[in-house]
Structure 1
């Protein structure tokens, strides 16, 4: 029995989706992100010199859901400017485009950057406001759970490496209040969300202590070592010593939705991330694709996440009940134990911190959003092995007994975490439907500011290079000999 789990799904029933479709308050307009922002600008407003220090912001430096980021790492611009990194500057909004970072809410306003500029992960979309929307307002809008859920449905790419495409983000529509009201909304949100986050921080601390208790209980049962000595009958070995084989999944081009009943689906990495198998974390296989039944997931399977973030790569789950017609992806592995090896013991060993630490250390990859672990690394993890049969069953039973004492402590924390997420969603819902702060009829309508920005941009846009070159190369059409053009009639003569 295991208790390791994530934060769970976002609360439903907040009314956010319905609220977005309501009539907007007076002075508000709807506009797309592409109308409000430069999406993925290729340069800084002011290019730094090679010796200038700027911030470096990998994906790991952006927190999930909070909207905060760590910009403390400084680098010399000249050392990295030729690398394929994302350029952004103070007050830009970062939007993690890759799974699972986007779903986890790695979205933030860039602030505190050294020299006001930074180089970051290539897995960020960058949104630079043109002046009609506050970066903080845009950030909070994107952090809404239903916005991220809808963006996830539009991801493209192979399972495990799916990304939100730029066109989808540019065409995403949102309600825009007058700029003065945006300031009031952001101030109110900051105040109220700070209270929510204080409660969440206390819950996180309590959950971490409970997690330590869970791992300590598991460790005492599956690693009963004294120095390097083991109980009588136990031996040191590797995970590979207790496996018959490892089966890998396959990469599939899937539909951007969950498989319906009767359809074949392919699991996502999030199906194996939270300590329990989540069959709903899947993508539908196109009906024209021929499924391979050998990849189908079955009750009792032990699955390992072959590719995931550094914290979850190699994360194992036991499948304890699942719908039919779900298949392994190329980001998942199925561990098939040898005859006589107790599966309940094996999953507890794989969940133990010493094994998890070995897998994290063995993970490879240059991406800061996704790491990989090889089958060889999975096999080579060092473990203590009790005698097969009754010995392994006794260990599994001892872990199960310890977990039964822990579970009652976990339920209240889960309930309070759910309520905190529900309250966060309710605050955001109020912000973007005009009910969080009162409207002021004297505020300049958002449409007026947007119109001025459009006019200014139109005046600033230069002709394309090819058009300018054509105009320069093409002389004015000569007048027809013997036919002088009467003054004032140039625009009315026939061709």
Structure 2
């Protein structure tokens, strides 16, 4: 039993999960072998999409009697072709019709499943269809690799223009000693860089603290909200996810209950810069510039809005970009508080103490234009990759099924 992978479930998306070692100990009942390339279905949930082809990595899989196993005849059909066919909308529709009643656990007899038909080209044509699909996927992957390189290059140019070069590799020093007052970041890397003086290079521009460049950071209000996004005409409160990925996502909100009056002062406006003050470590201090937003969305108390000075020396888009710099992220992560790994915090004074290079306002805007040009070029390639995948899948499905019924 120890060497067997025992099936736990097949999700509605066709992903096979196996039992943990502890779960296997408590299992009683007969088991049957399933081999890589076999088709396995769930009697109870096959109509919802609980079926899959056993992946190659599971060469010692055992299933219960609730999971009928079908051996695929390689002379007639490839396992990969079956794996693709059962993902098509047309096949899912046919399987879904096996369900009777409203229950999500309508048992399907194997004979009913076996009565289903699929288009079956000869093996050579199956290979041609699969090759065409995977060629498109490879082309999409090439585009995404190119996009990543362009985005990385534009970010590197931005950092170089600010004079922030990546630090050199650390020496192999298993033992080292440092004085507390000499170290800004207490970690293996932080201490070693301090004593070897191999940190980031000195910036080309004056390094200034955020509190010298802005008037304030204000956070909002977090009432008990409904568990869904606000409809267009209703008020909502932004969640921390609205800025977690470095861009503003207005859909990350919860609707304000009708019994509560909104506080229009906290409404988010175009041109705002929003910073997260609480989240998991990598998302604390996440920052986004609000290019566009629907009305009637308010800040929560886990989000700060930057209040800029009149005639500010700091461009909002530039601030959103520098908040992602490695040197700034290091400062943020050394000042986090909270014992829970899933909810860290940073205080307003800590955010206001962040230091970074500040060129003149015209240079800031020029750097952002260049940075955005690279990002837009990368985004175009990523969108082309998405479209390649979509078209490839549609082409594969339409070659087999004229309609999705």
User: Does the 8 Å CA contact 1:264/1:284 hold for their aligned counterparts?
Assistant: yes
1:318, distance to aligned residue in structure 2 (A)? 1.0
User: Does the 8 Å CA contact 2:210/2:353 hold for their aligned counterparts?
Assistant: yes
Query: Hey, what's the Cα distance between the residues in 2 that align with 1:300 and 1:183?
Result: 57
Show the counterpart of 1:373. 345
Q: Relative contact order (C-alpha < 8 Å, sep 6+): which is higher?
A: 1
1:342, distance to aligned residue in structure 2 (A)? 1.3
User: Does the 8 Å CA contact 1:272/1:317 hold for their aligned counterparts?
Assistant: yes
Q: Does 1:333 align with 2:273?
A: no
Query: Hey, what's the Cα distance between the residues in 1 that align with 2:233 and 2:403?
Result: 47
User: Does the 8 Å CA contact 1:362/1:377 hold for their aligned counterparts?
Assistant: no
Show the counterpart of 2:202. 229
After superposition, the C-alpha distances for 1:57-100 in whole angstroms (9 at most, x for unaligned) are xxxxxxxxxxxxxxxxxxxxxxxxxxxxxxx97443579xxxxx
Q: Give the total of aligned pairs.
A: 299
Query: Hey, what's the Cα distance between the residues in 1 that align with 2:151 and 2:355?
Result: 21
1:406, distance to aligned residue in structure 2 (A)? 2.0
Show the counterpart of 1:403. 371
Query: Hey, what's the Cα distance between the residues in 1 that align with 2:331 and 2:117?
Result: 48
1:302, distance to aligned residue in structure 2 (A)? 0.9
Show the counterpart of 1:92. 9
Query: Hey, what's the Cα distance between the residues in 1 that align with 2:255 and 2:154?
Result: 35
1:413 paired residue among 370, 376, 381: 381
- The secondary structure found in structure 2 opposite 1:406 is helix
Query: Hey, what's the Cα distance between the residues in 1 that align with 2:15 and 2:282?
Result: 21
1:207, distance to aligned residue in structure 2 (A)? 2.6
Query: Hey, what's the Cα distance between the residues in 1 that align with 2:19 and 2:231?
Result: 46
> How does the TM-score come out when normalised to structure 1?
0.46
After superposition, the C-alpha distances for 1:284-308 in whole angstroms (9 at most, x for unaligned) are 2222211122321122211123445
Show the counterpart of 2:233. 262
Show the counterpart of 1:354. 327
After superposition, the C-alpha distances for 1:385-444 in whole angstroms (9 at most, x for unaligned) are 43xxxx4303312313423542562253133133146348859998xxx949999xxxxx
User: Does the 8 Å CA contact 2:328/2:356 hold for their aligned counterparts?
Assistant: no
Q: List alignment gaps of at least 5 residues for structure 2.
A: 26-40, 54-82, 90-101, 120-125, 166-198
Q: List alignment gaps of at least 5 residues for structure 1.
A: 1-45, 55-87, 96-104, 119-127, 146-169, 440-495
Query: Hey, what's the Cα distance between the residues in 2 that align with 1:361 and 1:423?
Result: 46
Q: Does 1:394 align with 2:362?
A: yes
Show the counterpart of 1:283. 254
The 1:437/1:294 distance shift into structure 2, 3 A limit, reads: closer
- The secondary structure found in structure 1 opposite 2:307 is strand
User: Does the 8 Å CA contact 1:315/1:356 hold for their aligned counterparts?
Assistant: no
1:198, distance to aligned residue in structure 2 (A)? 3.8
